[in-house]
Amino acid sequence: DVTKPPLIAWTALKLYATSGNRDFLHEIYEPLCRLNRWWFEKNDDDRDGIVQYNHGFSSGLDDSPLWDEGMPVESPELNTYLVMQMDALAQIADILGLADDATQWRARAEELTQKIITHFWDEDAGVFWATHNHQPIRVLTPFNLYPLLTGRMPRAICDRLVAHLTNPNEFWTAYPIPTVARNDPKCDPNKMWRGPTWVNINYLFVEGLMRAGYPDLARELRAKTLELLMRHNDIYEYYNPDTGDPPPHAASVFGWSSAVFVDLAIQASRSQDPKSFP
C-alpha cells in the first residue's frame, strides 16, 4: 500500500496550538492511535520493531537514491517520524487528561529511539544508514541524520550528526540542505530528491535542531531558508543548493514551500536575534 509519512499527530498539535480546540483533539485521538498501530502491524515484515517503507512513494521522497536497491527499506527517517508521532500522541493524551496513555506513549517513543540506535547507527561513519535486506544503503542524505529531530538522542550522537549537517562538502551548501550530500556520487543538484534543497525538509531540521539543543544553528538555517525563498518572485518546489535557482522541472506556486515560508517568517519576526533574519 502507498501512504505518506506519519506526521498527522505532529500536525494536529500545531493546529491545536493556534486554535485551542480540545474537541478536535478528542475527535482524532483514537483514529491517530489506530494509524500508529497500522504502521507497526502492517509494515514490519521481520517483526523486529523497526518499521519499513514498502514503496518509495510512501516516503514522499519519490526519486531518492535510497530506493535504488529495491524495497522494502527500513529507514531511520520513517522511524524518526514514528518517535515524533508517539511523543505527539503523548502530548495529546496529556491535554485530554489521559495520563496513563501519555506515559505509555513516551515509553514506546523511548523504546523505538533505542532500537533506531541499535539498528541503524554506524559509529565509524557517524550516521544512521537505511537498510535493504538488513544491509546498509551507503548513500548519504539528510535522512541519515533524521534521528536528531527526536530530541532523544545522546549528545555525542547529536554532535556527530551536526558535524555532517554543517560540513560544506556535504550539506552546508550556499543554500542548504541538499537532499543528497554534495560529495556523494549519486548527488544531482537539479534532479528531484537526488540533490536539490526542499524547504519543507529544512523546516523539520529547524524545529529538530531547536529540540535537540542547537538553537543558534536552527536560527541560522531558518535565515538561510528565508533568504533562499525570497530570492525569487515565485515560490518553487525545490532549489539548486549551490545557486539557489529552481531546476527546470521544479513546480512553481508550490503549496508546502509557501506554507513553510509563512511559518518561518512568522517565527523570525517574533525572534529578538538578528541572525533570524536573512
The answer to which of 65-74, 143-152, 263-272 has the lowest mean pLDDT is 263-272
| Residue 276 in this model has a pLDDT that exceeds 60 | no
Q: What is the mean pLDDT of the chain?
A: 97
| Residue 278 in this model has a pLDDT that exceeds 80 | no
Give residue 271's pLDDT: 78
Give residue 275's pLDDT: 58
Give residue 102's pLDDT: 99
Q: How many CA atoms lie within 13 Å of 65's alpha carbon, on the beta-carbon side?
A: 23
Give percent of the chain with pLDDT exceeding 90.
96
DSSP state, residue 197: B
Q: What is the CATH number of domain 1-151?
A: 1.50.10.10
Burial class (CB in 10 A: 0-12, 13-18, 19+), 226: buried
| Residue 1 in this model has a pLDDT that exceeds 90 | no
Q: What integer is the mean pLDDT of 219-236?
A: 97
Where along the chain do the CATH 1.50.10.10 domains lie? Answer: 1-151
